[in-house]
Amino acid sequence: MKDIEAAIPGYELHASPKPGSVTSTGNEEPLPHPSIWLLLAVSMPRMAVQMAWAAQWAALGPYLSTMLPNTAVQLTQFIGPVAGVIVGPSVGVFSDRTTSRLGRRRPYLIVAGILSVICWIVMGYTRDIGDALGDHGDGTDGETDRTWTSVFTIIFYAWMDITVNMVQTPAMLLIADFAGDRQTTGAALGQAWSTLGAIVIAVYIEIFGAAYKTLHWFLGMLSVVMIICMAVACFFAHETPLDPNQVKKSSAWVQVKGAFYSVYQGLKTLPAALIVYSFGLFFVLYGFTAYNGNKGQFFGLEVYSGTATNADNCDPCSEAQNAYNEGVSLAGGTADLLYNIVGYVYSWCIPFLVSKFGLKWVLTMSTIPQMLLMIMAWVDNKGFDVF
């Protein structure tokens, strides 16, 4: 069986081993062939995870901009990647060695999912907490002080970053565990759920406007989806518990240290072709994160020339505040909806495209649309930027 990733001569050296490939000994047990329905069920947490990230990008970032200067907002948004670098590998290694009767992945999905829901429920009351502690004013007249609202929003923002990263790692590992010989299909279905989650956020903002204007309902929606996705995945994912006798006893510090050392060794020993790929992937993800982390502010401040200060609770709002809210709604609503619909359809085409053209060509060609984002830096036309 020829690897579908090996559509280009010479790539076989770097392809993942599969039954019947040149790296297989022939003595391995056949990999399971799960049904599409099972893969759909176990990959559902990807939807909740993506909704959480989309909420940060489309709602919480612009919400912070109504209270903090842009520099402080950028520093706050830096918490997510830092948490991901630390939490991701750590949770991964702990998950691999978990001997719970629920399996290796489900305990982390359940605990982190519950903590995320608690975070969102309390986050919905940041304004009330701030007002109770002395915050006052809405920017229309007199002095405005929203210090406590800002502080608690940042605290819950960091809490959310940690717990969602705790969900994300085992969610991806669970798909790989159950995909068997359908790894490409499992990954594609996970991406489809992920894109659907982003679409739900975009539809909400398209209907109700900037999410921070209805923060209680918005975060309530996130909580309900997280509960449903975790419940479905954990119900259908019948994991086989890891035998405690097969796990070498070691401290948590040794396990985490080993995980990061493995990452270091892996990077150090990468083949030249994969080093180039890693650099390319870094810049792709950098561009993706840079746009999504700032799109609300970009449309609200640059394209619509609005003012973010107290735009979340102004009544009545000034013309500049309305312009900011309209720009945020466009970025997180119409623009995101169009973007994610295209992405959702594309995710279902990935298995066919990879088998037809090879992974390298599909990956290379898919980066071209993202390159066009650079043009937006010099253009503030609404129609062009949405396109």
Q: What is the 3-state secondary structure (H, E, C) of 317-356?
A: CCHHHHHHHHHHHHHHHHHHHHHHHHHHHHHHHHHHHHHH
Each residue's pLDDT tens digit, 299-335: 887 787 788 777 777 777 788 888 888 888 887 788 8
Q: How far apart are CA 146 and CA 202, in angstroms?
A: 28
Average of pLDDT values for 212-226?
Answer: 90
Say what percent of the chain tops pLDDT 70.
87
Cβ burial, residue 343 (10 Å; 0-12/13-18/19+): middle
Domain boundaries, given as residue ranges, for the chain: 33-242+272-386
If we measure between CA atoms, which residue out of 224, 171, 200, 223 comes closest to residue 39? Answer: 171
Please determine, for residue 37, whether its predicted confidence score (pLDDT) is greater than 80.
Answer: yes
Residue 250's pLDDT band, with cuts at 50, 70 and 90, is confident
Whether residue 19 has pLDDT greater than 60: no
Give me the chain's average pLDDT, please: 80
How much is the average pLDDT of 255-264? 76
Q: Residue 385's pLDDT band (boundaries 50, 70, 90)? A: low
Are the C-beta atoms of 40 and 189 separated by less than 8 Å? Answer: yes
Question: pLDDT at position 131, please?
Answer: 84
Pair of tokens at residue 282? 């870094």
Q: Is the pLDDT of residue 144 over 80?
A: no
CB count in 10 Å sphere of residue 315: 7
11 band by pLDDT with thresholds 50, 70 and 90: very low
Which range has highest mean pLDDT (5-9, 204-208, 379-383)? 204-208
Tell me what percent of the residues of the chain surpass a pLDDT of 90. 19
17-36 average pLDDT score: 61
Max intra-chain CA distance, the chain: 78
pLDDT band at 137 (very low <50, low <70, confident <90, very high): low
Mean pLDDT of all residues in 126-150: 76
The pLDDT assigned to 5 comes to 42
| Alpha-carbon span 308 to 314, nearest angstrom | 10
Please report which residue ranges of the chain form alpha helices under DSSP H. 36-42, 45-55, 61-65, 70-77, 79-96, 106-123, 126-132, 147-179, 183-208, 215-236, 252-268, 272-297, 319-330, 336-357, 359-366, 368-371, 382-386
Residue-wise pLDDT for 162-217, tens only, equals 999 999 999 999 998 888 888 888 888 888 898 889 889 888 888 888 888 888 89
- What tens digit of pLDDT does each residue of 63-117 get? 888 888 878 887 888 888 888 888 888 888 888 888 888 888 899 999 999 999 9
pLDDT for res 109:
93
> For residue 29, what pLDDT band results from cuts at 50, 70 and 90?
low
Q: How far apart are the first and last CA of the chain?
A: 42
Q: Is the peptide bond before 241 cis (omega within 30 degrees of 0)?
A: no
pLDDT in the model for residue 171: 92
For residue 218, CA distances in Å to 211, 262, 356 come to: 6, 40, 41
**Residue 110, pLDDT score:** 94
pLDDT for 1 equals 35
pLDDT of 16 > 70? The answer is no
Query: Rg of the chain's alpha carbons, rounded to an integer?
Result: 23
Range of 37-46, 51-60, 65-74 with top mean pLDDT: 37-46
Q: State the Cα–Cα distance between residues 274 and 359, nearest whole angstrom.
A: 13
Q: What is the dihedral of CA 119, 125, 126, 129, to 10 degrees?
A: -120
pLDDT at 284 over 60: yes
DSSP helix/strand/coil, 145: strand
- Per the CB < 8 A criterion, the answer to whether 242 and 98 are in contact is yes
Q: Tell whether the model's pLDDT for residue 293 goes beyond 60.
A: yes
